Structure 1
Amino acid sequence: MESSIGLWTLTPFGVDRGAEDIILLLLLVLLLLPAFMQMWVGSLLPRSVDALLYNRGHIFFRNLVHRVSIGTYALLGGLQRHLLVGVTSFLLLRYYADFSSSELWTTLSQVGLLALCSLILSGLYLGLNRLLPGIYLDSTFYLHWVRHYSILEWLWPLPLYLSSLMLLAGVWQDVALWLTVAVILLWRLALIVPTARWLGEAGVTPLLISLYLCSQEVAPLAYLIGFGMLIL
């Protein structure tokens, strides 16, 4: 019975289902972004994984500029990330915190507001990290770091498509929740580990590295978890 309800939820354009239909349509449109980038760049996922694992971000972007501008790459990656975060957050809040509405424009405004919050937090995070090379290192380090960050922007949100579809279908909601949490934690680890290593190689003391990680990673994550527990 539950699976049949979930299948019906994923069938678009049902009666009195404007909110669900627009979310499903938004997810389908967002899926076009990695598809287009795959067409433009070619082997997007293998190239991205290779750049992350073997610290070849400079080679990745050197080849990228021959196919698409870096600004377009970063803009589309950020658009996918923030809208996916908005959709997934809305669906999680709808299921766990009774954060729901049947009105089409209300749903769109709520998803847009959550996506805007994600954009603002990301802007603050990038701005604070921009101060790091301004204080300790040079701008070359920040450029190296932001390349790594930009590549991750395309990769880490991809599992959120699956989480959103499960939440939208009304099946395996707890699995969707823990998948989302695991993806976010792995994303942060994929930033923390190489950043700490690069700072160490650049001669930054372990104390300053620890202060950086506490201020930029541990404290914001703790606030986010606390806020989530307060809502849920």
Structure 2
Amino acid sequence: AGKAEPQPLEVNGAVGGVALLNPRSPQDPSEYSQIHWRWENKVTIAIRKRGQKPRYPQSSFEGRLELFENHTLKMRDLSIRDSSEFHLYLEDDTGRESVQTVRLRVYDLVPKPRVGATTSGDAQHCNATLSCSVALKGVTYEWIPPQKVPRNRDPVVNVSFNPAVETYVCRVSNPVSSNNASLTYRPPCSWTGPSSVTCATPSALVALGHLVLLFLLLAVA
């Protein structure tokens, strides 16, 4: 049986930022007569031959690349379209090639979440549904209340608290960034937050339903 190829190395980058595509282990440039990087094994985007300066053939990456002596490839001005696999070909003096693969994933920076509250009840008993959303896929949502809430898979968390000012923070994150927004409870049954707060009506919540990831049902003890 043939030797299985190692899993591709994973590199994350942010839109507009910089990514370094590193070889799996430190490389001695003198060991190889030439090396080149390919995008999706289709287009050669960077080449270096021993004793020569790097060359960057025409491609969508032209003007955004820098190849270092250790064969690390620096990529600037990242865009979502750059998410792909890149292959480093290392050729020794006998003509034998070894290949390493780096998988680049580019993410948008997480924007400020939109948070809102809908309430029902009276001064004695207040029910509230808190919503949090961003217009971005592939993110993780987390509510951070002022008291510890057990982690479980239920999208509804029941919290009881004393009728005092309390703040709940929604944090949204992805592998390269995070952002948050807060809602503050004020007795008997109202909520305040940043300028992005929407005190949504039930019909508005239906429209936002696919974005509302977590609810807190709050009851005044």
Same fold (TM over 0.5): no
Which structure has more relative contact order (CA 8 Å, sep 6+)? It is: 1
Higher relative strand content: 2
Larger radius of gyration: 2
TM-score in terms of structure 1 length: 0.20
**More helix, by proportion:** 1
